[in-house]
Amino acid sequence: MLEPFSLIQYLWTEVGLDVGSAEVETFWKEHRARGTKWAMNTSENSFIPLGIYGDSCRVRQIAHQPVHKALGIFLNCPLFRPRNSRASRWLVCTLDERLLYKHITLNKIFARITWSLNCLWEDRFPSCGPNGETLEGKFRDRIGQQITGRRFQVVECRGDWLWHKQVFRFNSTWTAGKNKPVCFACPAYAVGDAKYYNIQESSPLWQRLYMFEQFLGVEMPPVGPSPLPLLRGFHHSCIAFCSMHCINLGLMYGCNGSCLMAVLEETDMFGRPDELSLQERMDRAYLNFRAFCKAAKVPCSQPAFTVKLVVKKGGEILMTGKAYNNRCIQLWLSSVMRVAAESYPAVERLAEMSVCMLPGCGGVD
């Protein structure tokens, strides 16, 4: 494992990576002005923000054998955005997921990472090891010395829900049904008055967001909790939701499905509803989508549109698909909805939907 404070020292003092003090100060002031919880944990504007990210990926699968997955933990600086995004992610460690022993392996790794990142918060090399042990060699010679001359604070713990669940071992879970909450930030449930998808002002959840102490007491396990809450300046609002799962694999399901059905049912763009079946109109829409992708030189593996793909049991309209494919469909629908809104001005909701599907608005850039 690369030592986080040694990695950051190398990047800042030898590679020459830097973030301007004015940019850092603006970052903190804007987040405090918005009332961001983790930004309220410190009164200083000089901490360079850091993010920590983890995920696992499939690396290979031998026939008739279990899938082999590798797990990686990365650091990044949200204010450092090079032209190549790969240069902004710095691998700290990776290991074969099969070697994990319950939650203990990750806890040991994150205990070391937490200790090292807290040294960056103080900008001082440690006086002892993560378990209080005496330091030897070059670590002993550098006790108390400055690391970079700048101070750092973790403001993002990123990953998908599976990763957060694996690391923090929340009490809440998406598979709980009505027996447990589904969110680590509030007591939201899948049913009842506190539905997780109720975003109206009248929802009781707005008044029930967990304080940090509540988060620790309600969501963190009583035995073997993750060391990450021991990060200096940590607040559970640092735990970021995965944009891919929330948008591409969440909101887009509803947006893409609703817009496609609106065009098919309320316009004649892909055939008259009284002359062609819904599946026949979907076939024409799919051909138009493929032509759009070809003209825009956008590779996409989206299979043919089918009624079952969009209309679920119970009548829900959700267009399921892969994350990247949903983004391609959204870009296509943004142009389709614009034409539909102009061609059928009497259907008011087409104009509203076309605005929501514009890239950078309701849609995704």
Give percent above pLDDT 70 in the chain.
98
The most confident of the ranges 239-253, 277-291, 340-354 is 277-291
End-to-end CA distance of the chain: 35
Is residue 288 classed as helix, strand or coil in its secondary structure?
A: helix
Q: Which two tokens stand for residue 245?
A: 């799962």
Is residue 73 classed as helix, strand or coil in its secondary structure?
A: strand
Which amino acid does the sequence have at 187? P
Indicate the average pLDDT of the chain: 90
**Do residues 349 and 258 lie in contact, with contact meaning Cβ atoms separated by under 8 Å?**
no
- Strands 48-60 and 68-76, sheet pairing: antiparallel
Which residues have CB under 8 Å from 39's CB, separation 6+? 28, 31, 32, 155
Domain boundaries, the chain: 4-169+220-240, 244-356
pTM score over 0.85: no
pLDDT for 49 equals: 96
pLDDT digits (tens, 9 = 90+) for 239-249: 998 888 888 88
DSSP characters for 103-168?
Answer: THHHHHHHHHHHHHHHHHHHTS--SS-TTSPPP-THHHHTTT--SSSS-EEEEEEE--HHHHHHHH
pLDDT for 107 equals: 96
pLDDT band at 365 (very low <50, low <70, confident <90, very high): very low
CB pairs under 8 A, 24+ apart, for 59-62?
none
Q: What distance in Å separates the CA atoms of residue 89 and residue 227, rounded to the nearest whole number?
A: 22
**Do residues 90 and 52 lie in contact, with contact meaning Cβ atoms separated by under 8 Å?**
no
Q: Nearest Cα to 226, choosing from 152, 165, 161?
A: 165
Q: Which two tokens stand for residue 338?
A: 């614009």
Q: What mean pLDDT comes out for the span 151-166? A: 93
Secondary structure element (H or E) that encloses residue 55, with its range: strand 48-60
pLDDT band at 218 (very low <50, low <70, confident <90, very high): very high
pLDDT for 177 equals: 66
